[in-house]
Amino acid sequence: MKILVITSRLPWPLDKGDKLRAYHQIRHLAASHEIFLFCLTEPGGEGDNNDLSALKAITRGIKVQPLKRWRRWLRMAFAPLSTRPFQVHWFYQRPAHRALNHWMREIEPDVVMCQLVRMAAYVQESHHVPRVLDYMDALSAGMARQSRLARPSMRWIYRIEYRRLKAFESTVFDYFDGKTIISRADQKLIGHPENNHIDVVPNGIDTDFFSPSAATDEAASPVLLFTGNMSYPPNVDAAKQLVFEVLPLLPTDGLRIVIAGTNPAPEVKALASSQVEVTGWIPDIRDAYAHATIFVAPLRIGTGQQNKILEAMAMRLPCVTTQHVASGFPGPPDDAAPLRVANSAEGIAAEIEALLHDSEARTALGSLSRQWVEKHCNWDASTRALTDTFVESMSNELK
């Protein structure tokens, strides 16, 4: 097949969940198919200075389309008069749409995969070619959770975006021949009566790269690790909860917290202290996992499958998180992910303390985590499921 993948940003470097998913899907699809990538960037952004060699090695063609800042803000000025989500306006520009249409006529793809509803406007009317929408997550549900934790002065904008996203997720469903999403939990949150027709295509994990052999030794004193894009609101909220609510409940001597990840927001940087290290970008995130004792992700908002936890599990780290996160993991109920789960600061602290004082339990949980990831989080299997969606979408187009 000749597959055109459309993304809202360049899927490299792999510092965000949507980039990671797009890159690995493209990499595995490229073994059997011709892949073309169309992605958006801002002027002076990733596409101008980034090394594209990793993407060029797995694609037949790449078109990086810069967005104009003045066009972006002009659209946002009129966005309140629209019913579409603000993020759809933020990523849509007519010159980019024209460039995409021109390229589509040139390459004549057999199927188009559009990542995230924010990009749906670019292809929802392209009825001449089968189209697959990767919802990834139920973004409206994440926006609703963010609205409950936002500052009172900002809650109204989150609630408006939630309502717009909820309606748009349902509307665009009927424009696409195939639909995918990361988790069964998020599938049920898409507000369309036929949401059960959305194919669940979970994320995988590169278990050769994230390998226990890379985990050389724990630090002399216990280290709690949390990683991710530290400008992303759900991660900011989780980091603050870990430091302000969980850490004071942990009496273990010498305990340290490491918050590792790109673009730490000012609120995250302010968490740094003698007991809390905020690292910012780390060239090889495995170094952080290698010297951690426990991975802790007290996420209360956000949606989808948490790649950071898959990475930690693959590195044989015991993980403590919330039920909100655990519900997004693949696998049958009788083979749930081996996570320690709690929904309050007190519960999370209790799980951490229990593991800190039982090295055998930590080791056993880490080993089970690695085994579970190897069984359930395979990019090859995930990509085969995605290919099945492509084939079915092409059949739907012919009906």
Q: Which domains does the chain have, with CATH numbers?
A: 2-204+379-398 (3.40.50.2000), 212-376 (3.40.50.2000)
- Helices (H), strands (E): how many in the chain? 17, 13
Judged against a pLDDT cut of 60, whether residue 94 lies above it is answered with: yes
Kindly compute the dihedral angle of the four CA atoms of residues 326, 208, 28, 328, in this order, to the nearest 10 degrees. 0
What phi and psi, each to the nearest 5 degrees, are found at residue 223? Answer: -125, 125
Alpha carbons 317 and 211: distance in angstroms, whole number: 11
Half-sphere exposure of 264 (CA within 13 A, CB side): 22
Judged against a pLDDT cut of 90, whether residue 175 lies above it is answered with: yes
H/E stretch holding 142? helix 139-149
pTM surpassing 0.95? no
Determine the pLDDT at residue 331.
65
Peptide bond into 233 cis (omega under 30): no
Overall average pLDDT of the 267-285 stretch: 94
Alpha carbons 142 and 186: distance in angstroms, whole number: 10
Q: How confident is the model at residue 248 (pLDDT cuts 50, 70, 90)?
A: very high
Overall average pLDDT of the 201-227 stretch: 82
Q: How confident is the model at residue 243 (pLDDT cuts 50, 70, 90)?
A: very high
Rg (Cα) of the chain, in Å, rounded?
21
Overall average pLDDT of the 180-203 stretch: 94
Judged against a pLDDT cut of 60, whether residue 219 lies above it is answered with: no
Alpha carbons 233 and 239: distance in angstroms, whole number: 10
Chain centre distance of CA 206: 15
